[in-house]
Amino acid sequence: MFIIGGPNGSGKSTNSEAFLEPYNLTAFDYDKELELAWRRFSFDPAVEDGVRDSLDELFEMKKNLAVKNKTDFAFETNYHQDSIVQTVNNFKEAGHQAVMIFLALPSEETAINRVKRRVSQGGHSVDEVTIRDRYKKGLQLLDRTYDKFDRVHIYLSVENEVKLILTIDPKNKILHAESTQLLDKLPHLNDFVRSLERENK
């Protein structure tokens, strides 16, 4: 199973197709599904909660079916809630490998500006408080749980490109370390990377 993670505005939806094409997978994109479903009700605020509940049920159904049938599954997320870790555990317990592809942004302000630009182009909006909260919590959760994944790829999303800066393999070895940028925001992962560097000297 694959998680395409990262803060609002990091380019998850833009880049997920390219990441998943080799596996013939399409990620479950909650924001996209919400827009499509809610549009059928002319974005009536009175039905928003019901639409969200239906999408939660749809996600659970697709997830459980993939776990049961041992088929590949991918979804996009800010990776800011502990409940997502339980999803990872469910797949791992069923014998799946778990891969995190995390698209990082340099700062909260970058995320805010990216979302503003997206809205100006007709995309969905997210309020500034939520953007800041998810930016912090996403990095914190990644830092606490990176070792639950069989492989972690961290990309830095800048301008119109994403650059791979770190990959860790199932045996907890650094496969690719292009840059240590952002590791100051990931203290546990930073300590782990530094320990491997000392071992390899």
d(CA 172, CA 185): 20
Q: Residue 201: pLDDT above 70?
A: no
Are 65 and 49 in contact, with CB atoms under 8 Å apart? no
Give the pLDDT score at 116: 93
Q: Which of residues 34 and 150 earns the better pLDDT score?
A: 150
Q: What is 2-199's CATH topology?
A: Rossmann fold (3.40.50)
Give the pLDDT score at 55: 87
Q: Which residue, 52, 53, 72, is CA-closest to 62?
A: 72
Segment 18-68, tens digit of pLDDT = 999 999 999 999 888 877 877 787 777 887 888 889 889 999 999 999 999
Q: Which of residues 130 and 200 earns the better pLDDT score?
A: 130
